[in-house]
Amino acid sequence: MRAYQVLHTDLNRRRDFTGNLDKISIAISMGTWICALTVDWLLAIASYSSSY
């Protein structure tokens, strides 16, 4: 799933950048993940409804 990959890559990038994960980074990463998940969901619905 693309959203999971975004979250995973984002967490790894932040860990490399800061050396550790603080609460703000986790919150930003979760926000990014939720946005990516929403986009995935909307794209799935759009492609599903356009197939008719």
Boundaries of every domain in the chain: 2-50
pLDDT at position 38: 92
CA 20 – CA 27 distance, rounded (Å): 14
pTM for the model: 0.44
Which residue, among 2, 28, 1, has the nearest Cα to 11 in the 3D structure? 28
As a whole number of angstroms, the distance between CA 44 and CA 17 comes to: 33
State the average pLDDT over residues 19-46. 83
User: Which pLDDT value is given to residue 15?
Assistant: 60
Cα distance between residue 8 and residue 51, in whole Å: 31
Rounded mean pLDDT, 17-44: 81
